[in-house]
Amino acid sequence: MIRTIRPALACLLLAMSLAASAAAPATASPKAGDTPPQILGKDRNGDVVDLARQRGKIVIVTFWASWCGPCRKELPILGQLQKVIGHDALQVYAVNLKEPRADFVAIARSRNAPPLDYIHDAKGVVSDQYGIQTTPHMFIIGHDGSIARVHRGYSEQSLPNIVDDILALLPEDVRNRQAGG
């Protein structure tokens, strides 16, 4: 009897081990102080988006999906922030998380779409590098290229505090100048 239990137990343990490894993210999500993955994929013009080219600015990388209510609230706020602060001091990238291209294009090209730089991550390559397991998920990257703040799985009520985090990283002269940079 023990001889028949051992193989069954070994199979059970192997199956549990495989299930646990499949459920774990392939890559841990970067945290404050880390340098994030630099390549975000291609923008809507087909140009490679490399975060290294944005050094000296505050950069927001937010992962979103059309079905995510807080994401749909966040994007217009980030679009307005981008417009008011200007591209010289702030760069916002909105990375769409694993949705069909038609859904992504419909939102990104919509007349009501916030004025952001949208990236389509249909296969999840970028989101996997960032260890994304939930949306919304935002990385605020400082002037030096390292992550200053990480916000994940937040609600609409968290957005004012997130905006405060972004504004606190901007130089005083940028915070005090006229809108539009």
Give the start-to-end residue ranges of the domains of the chain. Answer: 28-176
Q: How far apart are the first and last CA of the chain?
A: 78
pTM (two decimals): 0.83
Say which amino acid occupies 39. I
- pLDDT tens track for 16-50: 443 344 444 458 999 999 999 999 999 988 999 99
**pLDDT greater at residue 175 or residue 20:** 175
| The pLDDT of residue 112 | 84
Question: In the structure encoding, which two tokens stand for residue 105, read together?
Answer: 């294009």
Non-local (6+) Cβ contacts of 85 within 8 A are: 170, 174, 179, 181
Percent of the chain with pLDDT over 90: 69
Torsion angle of the four alpha carbons 67, 139, 91, 94, in this order, in degrees rounded to the nearest 10 = -20
Which of these, 170, 140, 136, lies nearest to 33 by C-alpha position? Answer: 140
Report the CATH fold assignment for 28-176.
Answer: Glutaredoxin (3.40.30)
